[in-house]
Amino acid sequence: MSAFPIATTTAATGLLAGYATARWTKKRPLGGIVLAAAGAVATRQWQQQAGGKVAAALTGAYLAGFGAAHPLAKKVGAWPAVGIVAGGVALASWVTVDRRGR
């Protein structure tokens, strides 16, 4: 295990940076590229640290977080919604990979 939870940080940063890129450039596809690239890196790291099943579950959580941010944003605002789902994915990653020391 790394002293710094790299995959956890990559996943949370990917969600935040993907949204920020789309918002500030006004190019949603560019935000999608950032989101996908970070998700791919995090998935590979999860797979190396905890195996395929855990990686698949956390990748699903990453994608679900992306999807859930949209309707949540209508209730709490865009940045809070992205922060909530990024925190949720980071927590799931930490609990299933980093906390256990895999």
In a domain, 93, yes or no: yes
In a domain, 24, yes or no: yes
In a domain, 39, yes or no: yes
Alpha-carbon distance 4 to 11, whole Å?
Answer: 13
In a domain, 88, yes or no: yes
The full 3-state SS of the chain, as one line of letters, equals: CCCCCHHHHHHHHHHHHHHHHHHHHCCHHHHHHHHHHHHHHHHHHHHHHHCHHHHHHHHHHHHHHHHHHHHHHHHHCHHHHHHHHHHHHHHHHHHHHHCCCC
pLDDT tens for each residue of 24-79: 999 999 999 999 999 999 999 999 999 999 999 999 999 999 999 999 999 999 99
**Which residues form the domain of 54?**
6-98
In a domain, 47, yes or no: yes
In a domain, 86, yes or no: yes
pLDDT tens for each residue of 5-20: 788 899 999 999 999 9
Main-chain phi, psi angles of 2, to 5 degrees: -75, 150
Position 21 confidence tier, pLDDT thresholds 50, 70, 90: very high
In a domain, 1, yes or no: no
In a domain, 49, yes or no: yes
What's the number of domains the chain is made of?
A: 1
